Chains A and B, each alone.
Chain A
Amino acid sequence: MRADIVEAGEFPDLAERYNVYAVPKIVINDTVEFVGAQPEAQFVRYVAQAGGLQEAPPADE
């Protein structure tokens, strides 16, 4: 797992490439994206989705 924190203002080409208008915007493996801080369970679902897991594990709601 690699995690990059990227200042969108300093890298306008990346901001454009990933359509960054509101922050924080999270992009996972260039395939899954969402805006705003998420509860852990939801964040996990996104990672699972990007990570090729058929089914995300049941999360505590």
Chain B
Amino acid sequence: MTSNSVLNIVDVSKSFRGLRALSGVSFTLRQGEIFGLIGPNGAGKTTLFNVISGFLKPDSGRVGFLGKDLVRLKPHEICKMGLARTFQIVKPFSYLSILENVAVGCFNATNDIQEAEERAWEVLRFVGLEKKALSPAMSTTTPDRKRLELARALASQPQLLLLDEVMAGLNPTEQMQIVGLVREVREKGTTLLVIEHTMRVIMGLCDRIVVLNHGECIAEGEPSAICSDKDVIEAYLGKGNTFVRD
């Protein structure tokens, strides 16, 4: 383990009734990087997120976060340690206002409601939701829900943030706004693990990328190397297609 590693995933496997969702996944996140996690549908990306954030227990393997093993911890304990996540299918607290949604996350750092509210306003201004802060979460649009999902996770002041397709369903302009936010989050010192399907976005955003297919890591490296990797192209486009260069 290198000294500046934030997240250490070592040989993680998980099966659902014989279906191997993850088999022997290993990689390491370094402090301050944006790390991409890609792969075709059903490759096990979200399963891996659920294992890291404590919603699923892996059958074997270790998840080390800042030197501590996360495998036996509950999601709320993991969040308290500084690891936050968003959900691919957004889960807003529908009947609560956007402000209250974000305040729930702020209570990790403080017990005082006044202080939590002030922090919540800061986060809302950061993601650009402050004008809608008082409307209920259910009345918001898809792009705002994605922002809200990001805001809530940021509110807990994470050291490591897992983003599960926060740009899915957004148009290119909206995507670029989120990309800008993600970069700013990194500037503030947070390490990010990002699942995304839009290749254009992920190739431009990430420092390094790991590719999952059928629960296995098939490639790891810088975006440019991943783009030309034969196994990766095969996984996405199938065997024997004309795009594969020898």
A binds B: no
